[in-house]
Every structure is written in C-alpha cells, then in structure tokens.
C-alpha cells in the first residue's frame, strides 16, 4: 500500500499503546517515528539534574533560561540523547514519570518542545505521538488518531512493560501515576489533552495488536482511497 507524504498524529491517554502503533505504522510505510513525550521526559530529567524542580513538582523559573543550553536529539535507533549522552532508559523511570506532567504544563517548556517537533515535521512522512499533536503541533495533519483504553488495561500494560524491563514497580503506584498524569494533562491551560474534532477515535481496551493495525489500515484506505 502506497501512502502520500503526510503527517500522522497519534494522541491519547497515557499507556494506550500510542508508541507501539506509531512505530508499526512508521515501519510499514517507511515514515519517521517521533516520540514527542520523550522530549518532555528529557526536559524533566534535565530540570531534575539541574535542581530546577522541587520534590513537590514546583518548577524554578530559571528553567526558561537554562533551556537555551539544552540539546536533545534522537539517535538513529530512536533513543533520546542529551548532548552526546544517551538518556534512555532514565527518562522512562518512575522518578521522571512522576514529574513530567508538571514540567509539560509550563508554557515556555511547551513552546521549546513544539519548535523542535515542527522542525522534524517540515520533511513530512512522519508519525508523531503525544497529547496535542493533532490539536496544536500539527493541526494540519492529514490523519489523526485519538487513542483511549480502560484505566485497568492501561495500568496493566504499563506495569508489565516495566516488569519486562527488569523494574519492580508497585501496581498501585503505576495506577496512581497514570491517573495523576491524565488529570494534569487534560486540565492544563496550554494545549491540554483532548481529541481533535477531525480525529478518528480508537478504544483498544479489547483489541489485539493485529486488530488495531487492521483498523488503522482501514481508516487509511478509506481516507486516501488506496488499496
Ligand atoms: O508513554 P506515555 O503515554 O505514558 O507518556 P509519554 O508519551 O512518554 O509522555 C509523557 C508526558 O509528557 C505526558 O504525560 C504529558 O505530560 C507530556 N506530553 C505532553 O504534554 N504533550 C505531548 N505531546 C507529549 C507528552
């Protein structure tokens, strides 16, 4: 199946499987996959290491100026780099997860991340996942998907993902983190998480990965009239 040089935006709640689906679509169509959440996680790790966020999540305004010296980039294999240093898997830790939504609610942080994301988008043929890609970063994206799933399914997925990586999270802690992030992400003033009016909604609570892919393929065929 051939697909035009479009931007595909995949937004939705935490742990709905956005990145797995986005990666798969990117591989299938030879598109570039970009994980916008990784940049917010990278800024959070930076703020923590620079002592610019308190344990309670209060952000020091000095972060705005400090961002001028921060260089985040994606390596060929998609891992996030801070300057020459690979910051995976640190940015996926519970410590970063517990503060990332506070950092992501800061308007100048969003502006900093957005400018990087738009730079990548200039070349087209891109699949990007996040919270506001279809509503704010690329409102012109030709295909938008908004993903949801039940909280129970999402928490179980995130828990199993962490265990598979050799971590020892508490299920209750994982649930708490999902709830907190979803709340902050949906209620912040700047570009909150919401479904774009022209996004196709995908609730994958009871779907296998193959069914999900078939669904996306159907949407693409329907929208672009390709077989
Ligand atoms: O993997 P998961 O869906 O749990 O999160 P992520 O994509 O790694 O994003 C981490 C956090 O970054 C989210 O909870 C949001 O607070 C923030 N984020 C955002 O505000 N806007 C985006 N476009 C992407 C992520």
Token pair belonging to 53: 């966020």
| Joined tokens for residue 10 | 């995949």
Q: Does 181 sit in the ligand 1 pocket, CB within 6 Å?
A: yes
For the chain, how many structural domains are there in total? 1
Q: Cα–Cα–Cα angle for 74, 137, 19, nearest 5°?
A: 50
Test site for ligand 1: of 9, 14, 16, 93, most ligand atoms within 8 A of the Cβ? 14
> At 100, which CATH number?
3.40.50.300
C-beta of 191 in contact with ligand 1 (< 6 A): no
36 inside domain: yes
pLDDT band for position 134 (50/70/90)?
Answer: very high
pLDDT, tens digit, for every residue of 93-131?
999 999 999 999 999 999 999 999 999 988 889 999 999
Distance (angstroms) between ligand 1 centre and the Cα of 190 equals 14
The whole domain housing 113 covers: 7-213
Q: What is the pLDDT of residue 1?
A: 65
Q: What is the pLDDT of residues 156-176, one digit of tens each?
A: 999 999 999 898 999 999 999
Indicate which residue's Cα is closest to atom 16 of ligand 1.
101
CA 185 to CA 75: how far, in whole Å? 27
Does residue 42's CB lie within 6 angstroms of at least one atom of ligand 1? Answer: no
Cα separation of 217 and 78, whole Å?
24
Q: What are phi and psi of 161, to 5 degrees?
A: -65, -40
DSSP element (H, E) containing 181: helix 171-187
Output the pLDDT for position 24: 93
C-beta of 131 in contact with ligand 1 (< 6 A): yes
Predicted model pTM: 0.96
Q: Give a yes or no: residue 197 inside a domain.
A: yes
**What's the pLDDT tens digit per position in 182-206?**
999 999 999 999 999 999 999 999 9
- Give a yes or no: residue 25 inside a domain: yes
Q: Whose CA is nearest to atom 19 of ligand 1?
A: 131
pLDDT value at residue 122: 87
For residue 65, is it within any domain?
Answer: yes
Residue 90 lies in a domain: yes
CA distances from 216 to 41, 204, 212 (A): 27, 12, 6
Cα 41 to averaged position of ligand 1 atoms, centre (Å)? 8
The reply to whether ligand 1 has any atom less than 6 angstroms from the CB of 182 is no
Strand order across the beta sheet in which 7-12 lies: 32-35, 126-130, 7-12, 143-148, 200-203
Residue 220 lies in a domain: no
Residue 221 inside a domain? The answer is no
With respect to residue 218, please indicate whether it lies within any of the assigned structural domains.
no
């Amino acid at each position: 199946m051939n697909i035009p040089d479009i931007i595909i935006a995949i937004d939705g709640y935490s742990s709905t499987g956005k990145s797995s689906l986005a990666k798969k679509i990117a591989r299938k169509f030879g598109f570039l996959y970009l994980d916008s959440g990784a940049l917010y996680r990278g800024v959070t790790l930076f703020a923590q290491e620079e002592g610019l966020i308190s344990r309670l999540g209060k952000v020091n305004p000095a972060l705005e100026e400090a961002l001028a010296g921060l260089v985040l980039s994606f390596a060929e294999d998609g891992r996030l780099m801070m300057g020459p240093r690979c910051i995976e898997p640190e940015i996926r830790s519970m410590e970063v997860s517990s503060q990332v939504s506070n950092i992501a609610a800061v308007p100048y942080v969003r502006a900093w991340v957005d400018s990087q994301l738009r730079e990548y988008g200039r070349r087209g043929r891109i699949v990007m996942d996040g919270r506001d890609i279809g509503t704010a970063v690329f409102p012109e994206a030709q295909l938008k998907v908004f993903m949801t799933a039940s909280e129970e399914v999402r928490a179980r997925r995130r828990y199993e993902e962490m265990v598979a990586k050799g971590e020892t999270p508490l299920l209750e802690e994982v649930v708490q983190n999902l709830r907190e992030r979803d709340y902050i992400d949906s209620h912040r003033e700047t570009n909150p998480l919401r479904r774009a009016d022209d996004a196709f909604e995908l609730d994958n609570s009871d779907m296998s990965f193959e069914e999900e892919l078939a669904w996306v393929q159907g949407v693409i065929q329907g929208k672009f009239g390709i077989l």
